[in-house]
Amino acid sequence: MYLPVTLVVPILNEIESLPDLLQALKAQTHRPSEIIFSDAGSTDGSADLIKAWWNKERWHGAKCSVLSLPGAMPGAGRNAGIRAASNNWIAFIDGGIVPAIDWLEQVSRCAIQKNVSAVFGVCHFSASTPFSKAICALSYGHGSQHAVIPASLFKREVFDTVGEFIPSLRAGEDLIWMASFYSCYGEREVCTNAQVSYVHFPNSWQHAFSKWYITELNCSLAGIKNLHHMIYLLGLPLIYLGVFSGGYYGAIGLLFYLLLRGVYDPFRRSKDSPWWGQQPRAALIAIPMAAMLDLAKWSGILRGVSHRCILNVVRLRRQK
């Protein structure tokens, strides 16, 4: 017995990654009976590619639609898909993520066998180039697996209980929703057999800086990871500027920190050993990459905290 499932996919300019995702959806051992793509205003032909694919590959009894939502953030895209879904069970996946062929079968089977309203699948993180391997190892860990929302299946009643995703954030909305989920349900059911994969890490310094800056900015604006952000905001300048004020000891301290971030941290996070595989140049990139990601995160946190402070001051003045 399989559950009738609506699959919701928020996208924005995913023309390069969509072919792999679409092929994987057609190959599913349990295909969704409805697919809803929430397009945040793609300009690269993503929507046309989806429509052409469905006209050619459609399967009996299923339907596929593309919601046009210019400017919508990921949470808003998911919310729109939830509202438009015709099935009681709703699964999520993102552009750039590719499911194993039995992914939807595994989460559906787990929901039935465990008699639960939510099942979280796991995402496997890896990369192919030395540059992207370094980013992967420094963030999620190369070869690691984590339970994520864009691999998971939920009964509609879950959203009635937990609420929708915050629609105004570009990043971090999933963390806030998960916190609400835990407060309502206490724990989560994770199906490690339900696997998807993500390999589309940035391949340029500019793209990597922008991605981490935007992520931390939005997390800061959302007020999540506040303690972590304050430690980062205050502690990072002390470490990096210590080389100027602390002389020899400051330089030793900075070197020690960079070795922790650029050498130890990728090993700690990664499951593959060595995490760089047959591309040792990735290990050389990791140290300067760690410093650059630090700067991106710190800049995003600083802007987010400053913006929140300004809003609080304006709010207090209006109350007076």
Report the predicted TM-score, pTM, of the whole model to 2 decimal places: 0.90
- The radius of gyration of the chain's CA atoms, rounded to the nearest angstrom, is 21
Helix orientation angle between 173-185 and 205-222, rounded to the nearest 10 degrees: 40
Domains and CATH numbers, the chain: 5-198 (3.90.550.10), 205-319 (no CATH)
Positions of E strands within 42-113? 63-68, 89-92, 97-99
pLDDT in single tens digits along all 320 residues of the chain: 578 999 999 999 999 999 999 999 999 999 999 999 999 999 999 999 999 999 999 999 999 999 999 999 999 999 999 999 999 999 999 988 999 999 999 999 999 999 999 999 999 999 999 999 999 999 999 999 999 999 999 999 999 999 999 999 888 899 899 999 999 998 899 999 999 999 999 999 999 999 999 999 988 988 887 888 889 899 999 898 877 776 778 889 889 999 999 999 999 999 999 999 999 999 999 999 999 999 999 999 999 999 888 888 777 777 76
| DSSP letter string, 136-156 | HHHHT-TT-EEE-GGG-EEEH
Euclidean distance between CA atoms 313 and 9, whole angstroms: 38
Question: Do residues 152 and 92 make contact, with C-beta atoms less than 8 angstroms apart?
Answer: yes
Residue of 154, 152, 133 lying closest to 144 (CA atoms): 133
At 293 the three-state DSSP class reads helix
End-to-end Cα spacing for the chain: 61
Euclidean distance between CA atoms 109 and 92, whole angstroms: 16
